[in-house]
A and B are shown apart, each in its own frame.
Chain A
Amino acid sequence: MPRSALITGLGFITSIGNDAASVSANLRAGRHGLVTYPLYDNPNLAVKVAAPVRGFAVDSPSWRDWTWPERYDLPRETLRSLAPHGVYAFCAVEQALADAGLTKADLGDGDTGLFCASAGSAFLLHHHLSQAHAAHFERGNPMGVVSSIAGTLNFNLAAHYQITGAVTGFVSACASSSHAIGYAIDEIRLGRQNRMIVVGAEELNAETLLPFGPMRALSVNPDPATASRPFDTARDGFVGTGGAVVLIIEEASLARRRGATAYAEFIGWGQASDGHNIATSHPDGAGLRNAMLRALRDAAVTPAQVDYVNAHATSTPIGDRAEAHALRAVFSEVGAHPVVSSTKGLTGHGLSMAGAMEAGFCALAIREGWMPGNTHLVNPDYSCDTLNLPRTTLSVAPSLVLNNSSGFGGSNVCHVLRRV
């Protein structure tokens, strides 16, 4: 019997809630997490809105200043080598393990792996390098490297949880955690691992977000209620968010033996690159179309069987339209009309974290029986004319769901999730 990959635990530290219950309630009600949030003390900056995590204070370069919800027992020896987004990640892992009915003692058997995705901490890296420059590189913080470079999540979490299975990180910008999930599915299907912990996390600070400004990728709409509006004609860029989302993915027989309750099953995934441009999507969404088709083929399902697509759409003029064209090519042209929505209208765009966050949302929607709408969508772009874009949440249980992600360089990833 082929091995299958079940989602048995979720952890959320997001702009719309720090646990599954509040995330679910906000998604269903269409409540967003965006606020007026100056990231740098400069009133001339056009970017006014962001979607911060609540309940944490990690904006200092010193871990001694950081605070997080008291219920998470984060030891000093782990904290000292974390980046700010590592604190989010630690809390989300703790949450996901508890949700899955697992403890640290279950993770060191060699059959559990850890795949992580973040861009590292530009903020902390800048701090440490500034210190090093000031000292002419004669001295520096010993934790400077492991706390700030890309990979900081897997370095720290593997050591803390004493994970002896497959451990690595993924760096494909906004497709990173979707790649992590895809390869985690393969680890389980190929029999290499029985359990995978997938972590996506990012910081929300000037150093992480504002460099996207010169690319003209950020929304300059000052109204938190409309700044992130994927697929709308008035969209003008994405709104940044940070946080961490964790998925525990287990081989089905192991999950059953443990008596774990599954949210959903990953039955396939696919990826394809645009081969087109370093930053912007192929105008026809060619890579994303191919990623979806490959994912459907891997899962052995047809477009007509898909009930819901969680779109990558970040609210940028070029990217959303490219995805709409890709969706039309995969679905509309064969007479299929799944519900499509981008939850980034509520959360903002979590960069490396986005794919894991939205896979988590899909898992909640499947288990709880609803499909999120496009809350801020008023006038859909012309490219969306054949797409089914409800404005509000539908109380209809999806059986088969796609989760799309796209990153710089034209990397595209799509997962297929099924109700169990």
Chain B
Amino acid sequence: MAADSTEPVLPKATPLKSSPLDKFPAAVREAHARFVATGDADSLDTVVLAVLRDHQPRHTRRTPPVAPPDSARLMGDLGFDSLALAEIVFFIEDLYLVSITTGELVKVTTVGELRAFVRAKVAAAGPARVPSSP
């Protein structure tokens, strides 16, 4: 006699490589697509801020979401620890096919610095290195 009638979810095959933004809101995915198509830096900012919020600890996250000011300190004000910042870097590396060193990472301490850093990094990498579809 089986324990209950609830059918278990059968394991799926390991998913194929998908976009890191798959689970993000449509507006974020659209901003990414816009940046890829046009190089629009404001769209890139939208993505970076969404990635930042996605990794932000719950106790510092505001609902509804409010974009943190450029002066907000990632560790002091937004509650990130060094590992969470490393995760953001890993995410952005995956998304924009860039490589970010620890030396570069430790210089980024505020939201504004992060935005500027990603803009510069992605621009330096060149459009050919940005994936064409999110």
Interface residues of chain A, those whose CB is within 8 Å of chain B, are 15-17, 22, 26, 29-35, 37-39, 41, 52-57, 59-62, 64-65, 75-77, 80-81, 127, 138-143, 205-206, 224-225, 346
Contacts and interface: CB of A to CB of B under 8 A. Distances in A.
B12 A60 contact: yes
A139 B93 contact: yes
Contact of A52 (B8, B13, B14, B22): B8
B72 interface: no
Interface stretch (B27-35, B36-44, B83-91, B111-119): B83-91
A31 B87 contact: no
Contacts of A39: 11
Contacts of A15: 3
B83 A142 contact: yes
Contacts of B83: 81, 142-143
Bin the interface of chain B by size.
20 to 34
A243 to B, nearest CB: 12
B1 A30 contact: yes
Give 4 closest A-B pairs by Cβ, nearest first. Answer: A142-B86, A52-B8, A31-B3, A64-B23
B10 A38 contact: yes
Contact of B8 (A17, A22, A35, A127): A35
Given A139-B93, A143-B83, A33 B3 contact: yes
Given A35-B2, A64-B23, A57 B87 contact: no
Contact of A32 (B2, B89, B93): B2
Given A52-B8, A139-B99, A142-B83, A75 B3 contact: no
6 contacts: A31-B3, A59-B11, A62-B15, A77-B84, A139-B93, A143-B87
B70 interface: no
A37 B8 CA distance: 9
A38 B13 CA distance: 11
Given A35-B8, A80-B55, A142-B87, 20 more contacts: A26-B3, A29-B1, A31-B4, A32-B1, A37-B11, A41-B13, A52-B8, A54-B8, A59-B11, A60-B14, A61-B14, A62-B15, A75-B58, A77-B58, A80-B87, A138-B99, A139-B93, A139-B99, A142-B90, A205-B11
Contacts of B22: 64
B77 interface: no
